[in-house]
């Protein structure tokens, strides 16, 4: 049997390579940070400025977090060899849940191994076939999969299209419960969902609201509490899912946070919570520290905002087409798929590490390089990035004339 499958896979892998869709992993030779050492496929080792991590607050290699992780490991051990409800709940798990609820302005929180698991468990546990889920067309893969696992009717509305959402809410008027699910920030464009209108529509049509705030928790909103704070709708969002794998230290872990009975029910029924191992003690300890830092990180958030604006302004002045906005995700729109790949390669040769995204990750003809800023970048690093883009952009004819 395997011979046939093997031949088939080999064929399909070759096709991926031919289409330029085969993903190559660059192997880092040290910790994550604004500057990295990487080993290229040809064996060459390079130093490069890193503009493609979700390390928004620059905490991924923060000494305080490493210390907190070591301390938690010394105090609470390495692993728990259990799920939460058997013998995998330590006092620090409960404390982190309380601290997350306080940070996000919610009533209760459950921890999961990832936000992927949070989205994988939340829909199926709460909604049956008699209910309906309204989901943005560009929601994260984990929401798509979570919705697939759930028997509720699925209505996909056009990306950020509030008129289409309203129409879908009307179509779902016969459902027992309605739930609107959206990313707070969409990862390919850095655009922010209009939670104000979403909450208004939810009220008008009697629906629940779930926001996946993975690209927002810790740095969007006046106090970094995420997109609900940005829109001043914290008390109108029923559920938040988010990750600890981006701004909050970048290791792993995630949570579902929200109204008390919803979370209480998820603790009983969410399958990734019941059947997957508890979050490791070191990650719990370090995430508590990350949350303490994020609660008091106006300086880091200001630095991130300054870096973002510095980069956006300089890139526009240089003649690049970028998506407007304020988010540290800055898509440099190139259109042509080959140009995007060529440009990312040329930038790496200039010591700038960025990634090109093309179809099917983004729509055909909208290939781009996604740049992500971090509070850990210095002005000089941002300027070096712009200079390299300008040099390479000129050489490849990617600038507006």
231 interacts with ligand PLP by CB under 6 A: no
- Token pair, residue 188, equals 């390919």
- Cβ contact 108:264 at 8 Å: yes
**What sign for the dihedral angle of Cα 117, 119, 120, 121?**
positive
Contact 347, 389 (CB under 8 A): yes
Lay out the site mask for ligand PLP across 60-99 (x = CB under 6 A, - = otherwise): ----------------------------------------
Q: What six digits make up the tokens of 340?
A: 């995007």
Asked, as a colleague might, if the bond just before 360 is cis with ω within 30 of 0, I would say yes
> Is 182 an interacting residue with respect to ligand PLP (CB under 6 A)?
no
Q: Which of 187, 214, 276, 358 is catalytic?
A: 187
Q: How far is CA 308 from CA 51, 79, 288, 376, 377, in A?
A: 11, 39, 27, 12, 10
Residue 116 binds to ligand PLP (criterion: CB under 6 A)? yes
Q: Does 114 bind ligand PLP (CB under 6 A)?
A: yes
Query: Among 50, 131, 142, 358, which residue sits at the site for ligand PLP (rule: CB under 6 A)?
Result: 142
Residue 250 binds ligand PLP (CB under 6 A): no
Tokens 């407007």 belong to which residue?
Answer: 324
Please confirm, yes or no, whether 215 is among the known catalytic residues. yes
Q: Which of 93, 140, 230, 246 is catalytic?
A: 246
Close Cβ partners of 261 (under 8 Å, ≥ 6 residues apart):
none
Question: β-strand 35-39 against 45-50: which pairing, if any?
Answer: antiparallel
Residue 99 token pair: 């601290």
Q: How far is CA 67 from the centre of its chain?
A: 25
230 binds ligand PLP (CB under 6 A): no
Question: Looking at 183, 189, 191, 289, which residue binds ligand PLP (CB under 6 A)?
Answer: 183
Query: Does the annotation count 151 as an active-site position?
Result: no
CB 92 within 8 A of CB 84: no
Q: Which stretch binds ligand PLP (CB under 6 A): 91-99, 110-118, 275-283, 349-357?
A: 110-118
Nearer to ligand PLP, 224 or 393 (CB): 224
Q: Which two tokens mark 146?
A: 């979570």
Q: Which one, 115 or 300, has the nearer CB to ligand PLP?
A: 115
β-pair type (367-372, 35-39): unpaired
- Return phi, psi of residue 115, to 5°: -75, -25
Alpha-carbon distance of 66 to 103, in angstroms, equals: 21
Q: Can you tell me which of 245, 285, 328, 331 binds ligand PLP, judged by CB under 6 A? A: 245
> How near is the Cβ of 115 to ligand PLP at its closest, in Å?
3
In whole angstroms, how close is the CB of 275 to ligand PLP at the nearest point? 17
When the beta carbons of 101 and 227 are compared against ligand PLP, the nearer one is 227
* Binding residue count for ligand PLP, defined by CB under 6 A: 13
In whole angstroms, how close is the CB of 160 to ligand PLP at the nearest point? Answer: 15
Residue among 93, 140, 215, 327 flagged as catalytic = 215
Indicate if 313 belongs to the active site. Answer: no
Angle at 135 between CA 240 and CA 131, to 5 degrees: 90
Alpha carbon distance 308, 291 (integer Å): 22
Window of 40-48, 196-204, 211-219, 391-399 that interacts with ligand PLP by CB under 6 A:
211-219
Minimum distance from residue 61 beta carbon to ligand PLP (Å):
18
Q: Given the rule CB under 6 A, which residues bind ligand PLP?
A: 114-116, 140, 142, 183, 187, 212, 214-215, 243, 245, 254
């Amino acid at each position: 049997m395997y011979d046939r499958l093997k031949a088939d896979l080999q064929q399909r892998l070759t096709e991926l390579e031919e289409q330029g869709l085969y993903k190559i992993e660059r192997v880092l030779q040290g910790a994550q940070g604004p500057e990295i050492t990487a080993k290229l496929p040809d064996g060459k080792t390079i130093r490069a400025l890193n503009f493609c991590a979700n390390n928004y607050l620059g905490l991924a290699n923060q000494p305080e977090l490493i210390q907190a992780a070591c301390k938690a490991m010394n105090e609470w051990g390495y692993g728990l060899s259990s799920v939460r409800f058997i013998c995998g709940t330590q006092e620090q798990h409960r404390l982190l849940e309380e601290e997350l609820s306080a940070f996000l302005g919610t009533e209760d929180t459950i921890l999961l191994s990832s936000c992927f698991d949070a989205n994988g468990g939340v829909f199926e546990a709460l909604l049956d076939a008699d209910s309906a889920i309204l989901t943005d067309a560009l929601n994260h893969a984990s929401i798509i999969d979570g919705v697939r696992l759930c028997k509720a009717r699925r209505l996909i509305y056009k990306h950020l299209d509030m008129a289409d959402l309203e129409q879908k809410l009307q179509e779902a008027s016969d459902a027992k419960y309605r739930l609107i699910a959206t990313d707070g920030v969409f990862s390919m464009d850095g655009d922010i969902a209009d939670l104000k209108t979403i909450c208004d529509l939810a009220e008008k049509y009697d629906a629940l609201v779930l926001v996946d705030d993975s690209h927002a928790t810790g740095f969007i909103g006046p106090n970094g509490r995420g997109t609900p704070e940005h829109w001043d709708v914290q008390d109108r969002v029923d559920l938040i899912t988010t990750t600890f794998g981006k701004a909050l230290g970048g290791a792993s872990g995630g949570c579902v946070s929200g109204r008390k009975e919803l979370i209480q029910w998820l603790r009983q029924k969410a399958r990734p919570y019941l059947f997957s191992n508890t979050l490791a003690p070191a990650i719990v300890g370090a995430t508590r520290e990350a949350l303490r830092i994020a609660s008091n990180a106006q300086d880091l958030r200001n630095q991130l905002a300054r870096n973002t604006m510095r980069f956006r302004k300089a890139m526009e002045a240089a003649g690049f087409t970028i998506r407007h906005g304020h988010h540290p995700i800055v898509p440099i729109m190139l259109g042509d798929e080959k140009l995007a790949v060529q440009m990312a390669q040329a930038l790496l040769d200039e010591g700038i590490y960025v990634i090109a995204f093309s179809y099917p990750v983004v729509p055909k003809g909208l290939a781009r390089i996604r740049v992500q800023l971090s509070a850990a970048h210095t002005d000089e690093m941002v300027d070096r990035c712009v200079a390299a883009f300008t040099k390479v952009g000129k050489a490849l004819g990617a600038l507006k004339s």
